[in-house]
Amino acid sequence: MSLLEVCDLKKSFDKLHVLKGISFSLEKGEVLAILGASGSGKTTLLRCLNFLETADSGSIKVNGEELLGGKINQEILRKKRLHFGLVFQSFNLFPQYTVLKNVTLAHELLASERPDYKARKKEILSEINENALALLERVGLSDKKDAYPHQLSGGPCQRVAIARALALSPDVLCFDEPTSALDPNLTGEVLKVIRSLKTSDRTMIVVTHEMEFAHSVADKVIFMANGRIEEEGTADEVFKNPKSPLTREFFKSFRF
């Protein structure tokens, strides 16, 4: 059984069909890169997986559990969202909190719902704190833990956002063009962090325009066009030997 199975996912806004039946599956520990021109539906796909949009039809299964359909209320949505993490193009850090608090906030709020929270409050909070510090260490920002987001440039901000998304240990971590808002100098450090996160048990989906990065990190590559999967395969298959003319056309516009 795959960790993530997406089947015939459809989404339209009014008359605009953005996703016209997307299917793919992902094993635990795999990295999927999604490529495609702007407007091909990549971001909408990630937003549907993270339940920021609700897909119209199809199926999203995590560890065999169907997430789409059924009753939807705030509590149910929250549970579904926790299967996924999302790193935004524009970081969306919380400006009034320090780097450390950005990472711990959601975790603390979630922990406060635990039945043993009152009895073990101190212990739980210090665990959360330790966990956050370890994550900041991983993204190389231990020394910036007390800084505020506006004091950091884009690269470090995105690394904080990555640590924040990791704090809740989602089953699948999604990146929505994580380096598109960064200049080339800063892009490298963020890609390096994402690359370093690739371990046997961390499953990731990366929407990106960084072809070299996608080629070297991804186990699977999907090329999307007009709301459909135009081509899919291993990184080598798609990059070295694209079958679809649309894919070939798309790669032509990138220099390697």
Give the footprint of other proteins on this chain (CB under 8 A).
Answer: 50-52, 74, 78-79, 81-82, 84-86, 88, 90, 92-96, 105-106, 109-110, 148-150, 164-165, 168
Strands 31-36 and 203-207, how do they pair?
Answer: parallel
| Nearest distance in Å: CB 37, other proteins | 23
| Nearest distance in Å: CB 86, other proteins | 4
77/235 with CB nearer other proteins: 77
| Nearest distance in Å: CB 137, other proteins | 20
Distance CA 249, CA 100 (A): 44
| Nearest distance in Å: CB 57, other proteins | 14
Q: Report DSSP letters for 66-134, one per residue.
A: E-SSS---HHHHHHHHTTEEEE-TT----TTS-HHHHHHHHHHHHHTTSTTHHHHHHHHHHHHHHHHHH
| Nearest distance in Å: CB 105, other proteins | 7
51/213 with CB nearer other proteins: 51
181/235 with CB nearer other proteins: 181
Q: How many CB atoms lie within 10 A of CB 188?
A: 14
121/248 with CB nearer other proteins: 121
96/200 with CB nearer other proteins: 96
